[in-house]
Structure 1
Amino acid sequence: MYQQKQFFKKTRGGKILKVHREHYLRDDIVCGSLACTTCAHGDSTVLSSEAAQYLLIDTNVALHQMDLLENAAIADVIVPEVVLSEVQARNKAIHGRLRLLVADKSRRFFVFSNEHHKDTFVKTEKGEIVNDRNDRAIRRATTWYQSHLAGKTPDVLLLTNDADNARRARDEGAAAQTVYAYVQSRTDKPELLDFVARTGDTGGEAAGPSAEGDAGPQAKRRMLYAEHKGMAELTAGLQKGLFHQGKLRVNRFNCFEAYVGSQSVGKEILIQGREDLNRAVDGDVVAVELLPPEQWKGPEGGIFREHDEEEEGVAENAEEGAGLAPEIAEDAPGAALENLDIGKEGGRVPTGRVVGIIKRNWRNYAGSLEPMKGPGGSGAMAHPLFVSVDRRVPKIRIQTRQLANLADKRIIVAIDKWDRTSRYPEGHYIKTLGDIGDRATESELLLMENDINTRPFSQAVLNCLPPLPWSVSDADVAKPWRADLRNLRVCSVDPIGCRDIDDALHCTALPNGNFEIGVHIADVTNFVHPETPLDLEAADRGTSVYLVERRIDMLPKPLTEDICSLRADVDRLAFSVIWEMTPSADIVKSHYTKSIIRSSAALSYPEAQARMDDPHMSDPLTEDLRNLNRLAKIMRQRRTERGALTLASPEVKFEIDTETHNPLDVGMYQIREANQMIEEYMLLANVSVAEKILKHFPSCSLLRRHPVPTPQMFEPLLRTAAAVGIELDVGSSKALADSLDRAQGSDPYFNKLIRILATRCMTQAVYFCSGELSPPEYHHYGLASPLYTHFTSPIRRYADVVVHRLLAAALNLTPLPERTRDKKSMHDLSDGLNYRHRNAQMAGRASVELHTLIFFKDRAVDAEARIVKVRSNGFIVFVPKYGIEGPVYLTKKPDKGAGPDPNDDFVVDEEHQTITSKDKRQTYKVLDTVTVHIEVQEPQPHRPKLILTLASDSKEQDGFA
């Protein structure tokens, strides 16, 4: 049988058409229960006959209680089709998680096709909204199941977070409970209560007791925050210019200071203090109201010590301080840093307060519970505070019956709600990662915090791989468009121990005195085909992630370390860019081709450097390297003359114990000529390919740009340089490059330190679709190049995979995938790649910080450091030997019974970047050398950190503590 729907539709020409739509209903749709003797289930039977009860969930439960549903104690669950469809429309991430539960047969989640069953389909009544109709359909499905399974052992319980829906279900004769009531009834699993999300918008029963511990009604509780304005008022205020919209960016060293980038204001708006932040969390899209200009403030100028937050009346500057260790951002010349200083320190900037939340950015957070002073015995309900390892996140109040088990663990928590009467947001426990301080646990934590996908590759993905062992076939050789270059002397040069080798080079002297130079890149797209599970997984991961002790691959290891890796002495498929180049490094012509190569050597950077430096070595491969290096130096000099920046970053290298994976030693990473040589040819290949693909696909090429830093971003660098008598010109990248070359001090490291500080003024390089910007906006500031892309690392970057497809299409080798032709799709892809790229960098940085903590945990050392920034109560130092940066607090030893008062001890001259003791016995100036003592301490529970103090000899001599 079928139901017929009829409606009218207006065409573009103005005609009115009557449209008929048929909805077929069936009477053979199965219920999925093994207890049923009526339905002919076949393989679709998943609900156990031994279950005491089946749970039928509504949409709100699926959307808000997924952490509970994923618990192994929840099984035999009926998911109506209408719920699955509604979840898919409202939250694709939750829909994906629900589909995984359905696919896992051991969990016994059954999708019931209520929308096509003749007894459970419901028509939309006149004037009925979609949500009410769907709730009615869910209740109908519940009553049908109860009737269908009448007399059988399992009964059916409608699980809902909507108290009104539960009441209506009971009125219709169905058993129904809210989530909170159901979990309370599960006396066999009292820990389930920890997983319940207290959403606060679905009736009092679902939310459970007040997390703040107040017995009185909400109306009697003190209002701590202003009420968020509704969307209608926010929209009107934004249109009139009363409010300003932007994403909240919380200072990662001071959770009570944040900035909102606003196009309408033209500057970042400063938000300071708990009340003005008004329950906004880092990443939220917020509406901000500017304060009167006389109330504008400046960023905090001091270095703030970590201390415990009090329950009431806490100090606002509870964290370490603003702008101490800016976040890493990538740029081709070196790792750049995002500068956090807004305007001149001490100067006033536009200041505002949050009046509404436009879009929440709540996610899962990793951390630990703050030690509790009150009772929390086994099985008793406790309401501890959760402290995230991300210092930008406020403490979160949770409820748990597992306090004793969770006290020394790293756990995952989600935020459920944040009421006006609650000092802290309320959330729920999700899972335990492991013991606090355990290296594996802490490593998993940093990956989760940076949203790094560590799931094993699915079978569907692995099915896309060719069978092993794999080798180049006769069919590959026979393809007319794939050049056989196995006669060339090709080699690769990579870091020590590199197994995912995606680039190699050759250099052949030509009879006319020129050189043929080839960059050969692994032909990953020969194996990763568009829209396959392998391709979709790689696009989602975006990039490989390199941690201190391991690598998390974008592609499965058979591809990264075998089939695609350009290892020595095996035939491999490549995509080659070949130039004819004069001895003065002028390009005569360029050629692009798919190829077959056979690398003659897979060298490390030290090995390649040793060959070039050894006068006794004159074999052909060594001479090739010397020719490559000589030409690379010429190209590098030309780039510098065009204005390309030679910057620096404090990269460190760890020696890792092969058994424990703990660090044995740490030191600065050494850059050799061999490194710079390879970089030069990779840059040249990327620029050449960018030119080629843009010529053929001007509206959908994937390029990479590096925006020009704003003048404000250079202010910290200019202040520092002026304080030591150096004049820097930041009018252009060429002017900056030249003035950096002239910035020489008393020792060789002085110039490198200036370049590190300059790197921190840079914006972040980003991927973009060419059709979205004008050609002048394509410019890459750091490279002083009008065009740039990523082509040379397709094994570890999905952007390069896309560019390989663009280049292949430009050469008429393969058609361009449909998704790559679509500007909107390319925009979304670029955004995703930028997000994944940044997260991978932050995860790498967090891994370095973790292993630095582990290295210094059982050893305290003194080391030479440089002052890089002077603040009102101390200074920031950089320790070159270990690549460490951190604050040194200056406080005089107090008289007995008196507390330290930094403001009375020192005189700060911000213009000249000096800090002098009141007795004038000691003056510290930016870029001065000092000796610091490095050790690990725990100023807050479960938050170990490196503490830097002046070495004991300096402290005793100068009277500092």
Structure 2
Amino acid sequence: MWTTKTFLTKTKRGNILKIVREHYLRDDLLCGSAACNVCPHKDDEYVLDSNLDSICALYDRGHYLVLDTNVILHQMDVLEEDALSNVIVLQTVLDEVKHQNTAIFQRLLEVIGNKKRKFYSFVNEHHQDTYVERKPGEKVNDRNDRAIRKATSWYASHLSINSAVGDFPQVILLTDDESNRKIAQEEGIICCSVKDYIENVTGFPGLVDKLSKNVMPESCSKDALYPAHLTPAQIQTGIKNEKLHQGTFHASRDNFLEGTAIVNGFEKPILLQGYEGINRAVDGDSVAIEIFPEEEWRKPSDIVLEDKAEDPGDKLEDEAILLNTVKKATSAKVRSDEITPTGKVVGIIRRKWRQYCGILKPSKVPGAVRHLFIPAEKRVPRVRIETRQSELLAAQRILVALDSWPRNSRYPLGHFVRALGKIGSKDAENEVILLEHDVPHARFSEAVLACLPPDDWTIPEEEIKKRVDLRDVCVCSVDPPGCTDIDDALHARALPSAPGRYEVGVHIADVTHFVRPGTALDVEAASRATTVYLVDRRIDMVPDLLSSNLCSLRGGEERLAFSCVWELDENANVLSTKFHKSVIKSRAAMTYEQAQIAIDEKSRQDDIARSLRILNTLAKKLKKGRLDNGALLLASPEIRFQVDSETHDPIEVQAKKMLDTNSMVEEFMLLANVSVARHLAAEFPQSALLRRHPAPPPANFATFLKAAAQQGFEIDVSTNKSFSKSLDEAVIPSRPFFNTLLRIMATRCMQQAVYFCSGTCTHEEYYHYGLACPIYTHFTSPIRRYADVIVHRLLAACLGEDRTHAALLDARAAAALCDNLNYRHRQAQYAGRASVALNTHILFRKRVEIESAVVLAVKRNALQVLIPKYGFEGPLYLPSDKFIYNEEEHFQICGDVALKTFDELTIRLSLDSTNLQHQKLVFQLVKPHIPGFSVVPEESADVMEVTEISDSNAQTVEEPKRKNKSEGKNKKKKSKK
């Protein structure tokens, strides 16, 4: 049977176009029920059971559930529980969910795909007995509600007439739409609200905790504490008239009454203060902002203001008193350049709520079900949830989802999702790190694993014939100990036919041979975007069979590679460059230390040692050339944990040491990345995936320059070349660590390097400030970075080694891909740092140490100090009754002791575990001794001797060192730019 769909659309030129589409209806679509004796099901097509018991006390017969769209959108945490089964999901609902929320849609597909759950997808839009036409003037939502009711009614009738069992299942429509329920009841359909149904489910006591709280309309909120939000139409009109501005809200970590939003047209972020100013915005939300007149603009506060530990109920403190406290803290000598535009949130454009990790603070009222949830992320407000499991959950890390924030509630409302494990346990805390930083870490799906070759795969002979055979070339890899995802190898040899010239090759794992575009494996890798390295584990971007085996360039094994080969002269000038797919057989997989020994042992004259010496000599010349050109040699405190081989708990930690071989590998990775970037930009000027590093704005250097000047150094930051030269000259012979410290501080002034599509920026914007090169990309780590996978595909297309895929040339798709790559890259960095902090806390649970420290920054109420031995840094809090803060010169003064940036101190390190949510490393001053403030270290076997500050090699700042899990040790991997 055929029917037609007719609708009107407007073209870009303003013309009205009438579109008529034929819609095919069938009468042979299966109902999916084993209770039906009419639909010609095969054995594997039955999804819904024929004989079932009711799990809901409201109904005494077994039944099927039909869900409306909002039930799925708001109650997905309930639907994912095993309690509910024999559920019918209509095509109408699937299409609506897909249109409104792709994340929920994917979760729903996973439930439908789990055969044990018995969720049946029924194509009601193509069944002649369930399809409904849209009436003239009828809203889409009303038509869809009518389609859902029609399908529900058909199911009930179909089963009652055609049942193969006497007591056939009932069909119940679950909907929270009161008007829809009322109409359904008038039509004779059995229906129920989700809340009523779940609260009467037996045998699953924790299910009710997962119910999402209904949203209270802005206009209907009683006893309002907050101003009403503007409607979407009002917001759109206000933005169009430029009376309102759109921005993303970023909450303060230190002051719950303050946040900012970046708005186009304003150089500085807009300051939002107070309950009314923030008006229920949560970190990450897209908000509509009204900017205040300039006379009301002010400076952000620099004090710590935390929410009360106890739930104060639905009331707000005297905001005037709190804001006055903030004003007093910022009233002294406010310069005009410190004044910030100020405004308030008047509406929410789009919520960016997610599930949040944290702990439950049970109510002190006996038998209470309403409790306060304290998120691990300080920028997220506390949340009210209802649970009857508070005694059990009080000792657990838990996951909570936000549902709504009514105007009459101090805190947002949410619901319990699941427990993560005991507070303080390694597994639970690692899970918190991964969830809070949005790191995809689920096991690879069956669809992804189905894309992999067999475990015993070997290179086919026909594939070898397509490639350049380099198996006889002395190729070797150099990596940290225990590295299993080896994605690069090198070779170098003198050219007999051209004295003073060398052939040098960088060989990169050919991941794209296995990860083909559009496959489930490719989609998953693109979503993950990067491998994430924690101290004791690695979250792979691609499955282990590829990352640690078939793609890993292990010693003595034949591997597919993508090679970049140069001819260099003795001064490391590039004379020619060629790229090709290849087959290699690495002679050795070496550690940095092993490679360094091979270079230094003059008695070694084998091919590997000779190759490494050539590479090392040329790398030093390449590095000198880069630095002379203005590349920055910056530094960051990096540490290496030694972990127990069984428990994976840290047992020792030390600052990372840099060898010449670290720099050797880095230089050739940089050269390969630059070479590939130039080639891609020439071949694909509109769609090359590149990486740029914007120059930092001058304001970023203000504090840094002042601190350097206090030590007698004038740092010229007008260009990166003058900056590099100034850093080289800023040396204090008696303090060898000073220059490294200066470079660490310079790193803090930098902006993030980002991926971008060449067609979205001008050529001037391609520039990489840190490396001082006009063009750059990432080619050398496709095992752990999806950006490199795309670059490999582009390069292969240039060379005719692979076909060009349409997605590679789609600028819009490339821009979206770059956004995800940049986001995942940042989150991976933050997760790595959080893992270091967690293991630091574990290490110091039963130890106290006295160590040398250096002041990195001077704050109003604290010094930010660095422990060079470990690379730790943190705040040393100073009491205001003893110290006077010089805001102009950034000094802290106590009597005749003045503390400033770069000062050397002696610090006592210990762990404060009193706050289960936020354990922290405590820094206490030992020297210089200030009576009544400095601590006197007790004589204890746990107190270690004070260590001298030693220097460490600096490095180019661009990428974080990657970390690798090994047996007994865990070290970060070399920098790959």
Same-fold call, TM cutoff 0.5: yes
* 2:366 equivalent to 1:375: yes
1:497-551 deviation digits (Å, cap 9, x = unpaired) = 1111110111101122211111111111111111111111111111111111111
One-letter amino acid of the counterpart of residue 375, structure 2: S
Partner SS for 2:344: strand
Aligned residue in 2 for 1:502: 487
Aligned residue in 2 for 1:40: 40
Query: What's the CA shift for 1:434?
Result: 0.7
Pairing partner for 2:585 from 587, 593, 598: 598
Question: Are the aligned partners of 2:534 and 2:835 in contact in 1 as well (CA < 8 Å)?
Answer: yes
Query: What's the CA shift for 1:942?
Result: 2.9
CA–CA distance in structure 2, aligned partners of residues 570 and 960 of structure 1:
58
Aligned residue in 1 for 2:401: 414
Aligned residue in 1 for 2:920: 945
Deviates more, 1:247-256 or 1:395-404: 247-256
Pairing partner for 1:645 from 605, 610, 632: 632
Deviates more, 1:358-367 or 1:925-934: 925-934
Aligned residue in 2 for 1:190: 205
Question: Are the aligned partners of 2:86 and 2:118 in contact in 1 as well (CA < 8 Å)?
Answer: yes
* 2:284 equivalent to 1:283: yes
CA–CA distance in structure 1, aligned partners of residues 13 and 256 of structure 2:
57
CA–CA distance in structure 2, aligned partners of residues 280 and 936 of structure 1:
34
* 2:423 equivalent to 1:432: no
1:73-88 to structure 2, matched below 5 A, reads 73-88=83-98
CA–CA distance in structure 2, aligned partners of residues 944 and 314 of structure 1:
28
CA–CA distance in structure 2, aligned partners of residues 103 and 59 of structure 1:
19
1:143-158 to structure 2, matched below 5 A, reads 143-150=153-160, 152-158=167-173
Query: What's the CA shift for 1:29?
Result: 2.2
One-letter amino acid of the counterpart of residue 876, structure 1: Q
Query: What's the CA shift for 1:243?
Result: 2.1
The 1:202–1:103 alpha-carbon spacing in structure 2 relative to 1, beyond 3 Å, is farther
Aligned residue in 1 for 2:139: 129
One-letter amino acid of the counterpart of residue 360, structure 2: L
The 1:890–1:147 alpha-carbon spacing in structure 2 relative to 1, beyond 3 Å, is same
Aligned residue in 2 for 1:334: none
* 2:463 equivalent to 1:476: yes
Question: Are the aligned partners of 2:470 and 2:584 in contact in 1 as well (CA < 8 Å)?
Answer: yes
Number of aligned pairs? Answer: 906
Pairing partner for 2:473 from 481, 485, 488: 488
Partner SS for 1:950: strand
Aligned residue in 2 for 1:627: 614
Partner SS for 1:384: strand
1:827-847 deviation digits (Å, cap 9, x = unpaired) = 111111111111111111111
* 2:756 equivalent to 1:779: no
* 2:162 equivalent to 1:162: no
The 1:132–1:774 alpha-carbon spacing in structure 2 relative to 1, beyond 3 Å, is same
Query: What's the CA shift for 1:202?
Result: 8.8
Partner SS for 1:905: coil
Aligned residue in 2 for 1:868: 856
Q: Which runs of 5+ in 2 are unaligned?
A: 53-61, 161-165, 327-333, 937-977
Query: What's the CA shift for 1:594?
Result: 1.0
1:843-881 deviation digits (Å, cap 9, x = unpaired) = 111111111111111222222111111122221111112
Aligned residue in 2 for 1:394: 381
Question: Are the aligned partners of 1:298 and 1:346 in contact in 2 as well (CA < 8 Å)?
Answer: no
Aligned residue in 2 for 1:912: 889
Query: What's the CA shift for 1:107?
Result: 0.3
The 1:8–1:437 alpha-carbon spacing in structure 2 relative to 1, beyond 3 Å, is closer
* 2:568 equivalent to 1:581: yes
One-letter amino acid of the counterpart of residue 888, structure 2: E
Deviates more, 1:113-122 or 1:555-564: 113-122
CA–CA distance in structure 1, aligned partners of residues 295 and 10 of structure 2:
57
* 2:64 equivalent to 1:54: yes
One-letter amino acid of the counterpart of residue 148, structure 1: H
Query: What's the CA shift for 1:585?
Result: 0.8
CA–CA distance in structure 2, aligned partners of residues 14 and 249 of structure 1:
39
Pairing partner for 2:795 from 797, 801, 807: 807
Deviates more, 1:784-793 or 1:227-236: 227-236
One-letter amino acid of the counterpart of residue 567, structure 1: R
1:325-340 to structure 2, matched below 5 A, reads none
Aligned residue in 2 for 1:539: 526
The 1:646–1:254 alpha-carbon spacing in structure 2 relative to 1, beyond 3 Å, is farther
Query: What's the CA shift for 1:235?
Result: 2.3
Query: What's the CA shift for 1:569?
Result: 1.1
CA–CA distance in structure 2, aligned partners of residues 12 and 286 of structure 1:
29
Question: Are the aligned partners of 1:703 and 1:770 in contact in 2 as well (CA < 8 Å)?
Answer: yes
CA–CA distance in structure 2, aligned partners of residues 10 and 737 of structure 1:
57
Aligned residue in 2 for 1:568: 555
The 1:254–1:504 alpha-carbon spacing in structure 2 relative to 1, beyond 3 Å, is farther
The 1:846–1:489 alpha-carbon spacing in structure 2 relative to 1, beyond 3 Å, is same
Query: What's the CA shift for 1:200?
Result: 1.5
* 2:418 equivalent to 1:441: no
Question: Are the aligned partners of 2:212 and 2:415 in contact in 1 as well (CA < 8 Å)?
Answer: yes
Question: Are the aligned partners of 1:648 and 1:755 in contact in 2 as well (CA < 8 Å)?
Answer: yes
Aligned residue in 1 for 2:959: none
The 1:581–1:38 alpha-carbon spacing in structure 2 relative to 1, beyond 3 Å, is same
Q: Percent identity?
A: 47
Aligned residue in 2 for 1:702: 689
Partner SS for 1:686: helix
Deviates more, 1:111-120 or 1:156-165: 111-120
Partner SS for 1:508: strand
CA–CA distance in structure 1, aligned partners of residues 118 and 230 of structure 2:
43
Query: What's the CA shift for 1:723?
Result: 2.7
Query: What's the CA shift for 1:449?
Result: 1.1
The 1:654–1:344 alpha-carbon spacing in structure 2 relative to 1, beyond 3 Å, is farther
CA–CA distance in structure 1, aligned partners of residues 680 and 282 of structure 2:
41
1:885-917 deviation digits (Å, cap 9, x = unpaired) = 2111122xxxxxxxxxx1x43221133221112
Question: Are the aligned partners of 2:489 and 2:586 in contact in 1 as well (CA < 8 Å)?
Answer: yes
Aligned residue in 2 for 1:331: none
Question: Are the aligned partners of 2:222 and 2:408 in contact in 1 as well (CA < 8 Å)?
Answer: no
* 2:104 equivalent to 1:94: yes
Aligned residue in 1 for 2:236: 235
Partner SS for 2:138: coil
CA–CA distance in structure 2, aligned partners of residues 417 and 811 of structure 1:
54
Question: Are the aligned partners of 1:495 and 1:605 in contact in 2 as well (CA < 8 Å)?
Answer: yes
1:666-677 to structure 2, matched below 5 A, reads 666-677=653-664
Pairing partner for 1:354 from 340, 345, 351: 345
One-letter amino acid of the counterpart of residue 470, structure 1: W
The 1:870–1:521 alpha-carbon spacing in structure 2 relative to 1, beyond 3 Å, is same
CA–CA distance in structure 2, aligned partners of residues 218 and 234 of structure 1:
19
* 2:599 equivalent to 1:612: yes
CA–CA distance in structure 2, aligned partners of residues 500 and 130 of structure 1:
52
Query: What's the CA shift for 1:12?
Result: 9.5
1:632-684 deviation digits (Å, cap 9, x = unpaired) = 11111111111110010111110111111110111111121111110000000
* 2:115 equivalent to 1:105: yes
CA–CA distance in structure 2, aligned partners of residues 100 and 699 of structure 1:
37
1:160-181 deviation digits (Å, cap 9, x = unpaired) = 1211111111111111111111
Deviates more, 1:55-64 or 1:722-731: 722-731
RMSD of Structure 2 on Structure 1 (CA): 2.5
Partner SS for 2:338: coil
The 1:850–1:10 alpha-carbon spacing in structure 2 relative to 1, beyond 3 Å, is closer
The 1:850–1:346 alpha-carbon spacing in structure 2 relative to 1, beyond 3 Å, is farther
1:50-105 deviation digits (Å, cap 9, x = unpaired) = 32221110011011111110011111111111101111111111111111111111
1:260-339 to structure 2, matched below 5 A, reads 260-302=261-303, 308=309, 311=312
Q: Give the alignment's TM-score, normalised by structure 1.
A: 0.90
Pairing partner for 1:934 from 909, 921, 928: 909
Question: Are the aligned partners of 2:221 and 2:406 in contact in 1 as well (CA < 8 Å)?
Answer: no
Q: Give the alignment's TM-score, normalised by structure 2.
A: 0.89
Query: What's the CA shift for 1:472?
Result: 2.5
Question: Are the aligned partners of 1:102 and 1:108 in contact in 2 as well (CA < 8 Å)?
Answer: yes
CA–CA distance in structure 1, aligned partners of residues 742 and 233 of structure 2:
50
CA–CA distance in structure 2, aligned partners of residues 455 and 17 of structure 1:
46
Query: What's the CA shift for 1:32?
Result: 1.6
Q: Which runs of 5+ in 1 are unaligned?
A: 204-216, 323-342, 892-901
Aligned residue in 1 for 2:260: 259
One-letter amino acid of the counterpart of residue 36, structure 1: C
One-letter amino acid of the counterpart of residue 425, structure 1: P
* 2:714 equivalent to 1:718: no
* 2:744 equivalent to 1:756: yes
